[in-house]
Amino acid sequence: MTRKIRATAAIALIGATALLATGCSAGGNASSGGSDGKVSMTFWNNSTTGPGKAFWQDTVKAFEAKNPNVTIKIQAIQNEDLDGKLQTALNSNSAPDVFSQRGGGKMAAMVNAGQLLDISDSIGSGAKSGISEGSFKAFDLNGKTWAMPTNVDPEGIWYSQDLFKKAGIEGTPTTMDELNADIAKLKAAGIQPVAVGAKDAWPAAHWYYNFALRACSADTLNKTAQDLKFTNSCWKAAGEDTKSFFDTEPFNDGFLTTSAQQGAGSSAGLIANHKAAMELMGAWDPGVISSLTPDAKPLSDLGFFPFPEVSGGKGAPGSMMGAVGGLSCSAKAPKKECTDFLNFVTTKDVQENYYKAFNSIPANKSAQSVVTEPYLTTVLKAYNDAPFVSNYLDTLYGQNVGNALNTSVVNLLAGKGSVSDIVSTVNQAAAKG
């Protein structure tokens, strides 16, 4: 993931990522090394169904075949539960051996707490040559590398080409005015325009993230990651733009109780079953959508376009929200076995299988040749052309600020808060550390 200007924590993952757990506390999953040289680890991942679940099962079997001294037990955890369980494990000294890494302020907090393994001297030659320097920069801090990039997840709007045609929409919107006009056409055709899983908070907050990306300069976004002071006027401007969009009532019926990725009634499920026309989400979304179609196959009319431009902002046109998916080893992990697994996951064959399972762009450049779906090639082009890619704000600014931001945006959407509340709430969260 990267080119041109990127935030230091430029991109982190949300797609399918893995967790290897260890611990000695009650209820923990302990990795162990016996006197016979055997090592046992537990692998947590957020792929609970379908091709993603099968991918990790097959990948672990292949790794074990090449490393007969290592046994990995798989446990799948629902994505929305992952961060909380991980934080609890880290804080209780029962941290996973290897786990999904989102970068940004969350990673910095782990590094500062001494909870991560420095993998700088364990990155294999294949990973070094196959993965871009920019992708590794997403996980660099204090001159060291703390995670292995696995996949690239730029964000934008996924849409049904069939529903657009039904509403008489030609092409895709490039400005917010054009998006609003298309939403009006969809409503006139009796089609729910935009699906959002506001029950999970973060999907709704991503609208604010993208408005902030348009309103704020790259320097402001990066400076705020250092001082956590949301004093620039662009933060309020982004809130005003978000409220103006929310006031057009673009979302699906019952959006406040709609989940993001679980079941046919989720926001991804509404797209998968042609119940809504659009969803703002990262590049892992096609895989989730395909798992929720009636035949559990990729949505044949799926399309993609970047978040529209907003007039008057200080963000460079074409800038994107995005994430680099990664795996970190905990500080207490068996270093050789843990980093061997990280290197294995980035090999060309495994990366190609990753793409086939998740429809998500692999980090290894040699594996990106298998990306043929028009919507993903569109994503790659927009990503490669972007002058700046920012990590998701709840990751970039850490857990406390991120949670406060997500909650305050949902409150705005629910009519329980104001634009000013967003700024004041995140400033209060930042002050608490």
Rounded to an integer, what distance in angstroms lies between the CA atom of residue 15 and that of residue 79?
9
Confidence of residue 44 (pLDDT cuts 50, 70, 90): confident
pLDDT over threshold 80, residue 16: no
Give the residue carrying structure tokens 């086939």: 356
Q: What is the DSSP string of 140-167?
A: EETTEE--EEEEE--EEEEEEHHHHHHT
User: How does the average pLDDT of the chain come out, rounded?
Assistant: 88
Question: What are the pLDDT digits (tens) for 117-171?
Answer: 999 999 999 999 999 887 888 888 888 999 999 888 899 999 999 999 999 999 9
Residue 180 half-sphere exposure, CB side, CA atoms within 13 Å? 13
Q: Answer with the residue of higher pLDDT: 226 or 224.
A: 224
pLDDT over threshold 50, residue 180: yes
pLDDT over threshold 50, residue 370: yes
DSSP 36: T
pLDDT over threshold 70, residue 14: no
Q: Nearest 5°: phi and psi at 327?
A: -125, 130
* Cβ–Cβ < 8 Å for 179, 135: no
Confidence of residue 404 (pLDDT cuts 50, 70, 90): very high
| Mean pLDDT of all residues in 324-339 | 92
pLDDT over threshold 60, residue 13: no
| Mean pLDDT of all residues in 389-405 | 91
Question: What are the pLDDT digits (tens) for 55-89?
Answer: 989 999 999 999 999 988 887 878 778 888 888 88
* Cβ–Cβ < 8 Å for 329, 338: yes
Vertex 18, ends 125 and 21: CA angle to 5°?
A: 105
For residue 79, what pLDDT is reported? 77
Q: Answer with the residue of higher pLDDT: 10 or 347.
A: 347
Rounded to an integer, what distance in angstroms lies between the CA atom of residue 147 and that of residue 133?
13
Taking the CB of residue 327, how many other CB atoms lie within 10 A of it?
25
Confidence of residue 31 (pLDDT cuts 50, 70, 90): low
C-alpha distance from residue 136 to each of 140, 186, 424 (Å) = 6, 41, 34
Question: What are the pLDDT digits (tens) for 226-258?
Answer: 899 999 999 999 999 999 999 999 999 999 999
User: What's the whole-model pTM score?
Assistant: 0.77
Confidence of residue 433 (pLDDT cuts 50, 70, 90): low
| Mean pLDDT of all residues in 248-271 | 96
Q: Answer with the residue of higher pLDDT: 348 or 326.
A: 348
For residue 81, what pLDDT is reported? 87
For residue 33, what pLDDT is reported? 61
Lowest mean pLDDT of 27-31, 79-83, 178-182, 343-347, name the range. Answer: 27-31
* Cβ–Cβ < 8 Å for 146, 355: no
For residue 9, what pLDDT is reported? 36
pLDDT over threshold 90, residue 114: yes
For residue 407, what pLDDT is reported? 96
pLDDT over threshold 80, residue 21: no
| Closest alpha carbon to 10 in 111, 112, 137 | 137
Handedness of CA 174, 178, 184, 188 (dihedral sign): negative
pLDDT over threshold 90, residue 271: yes
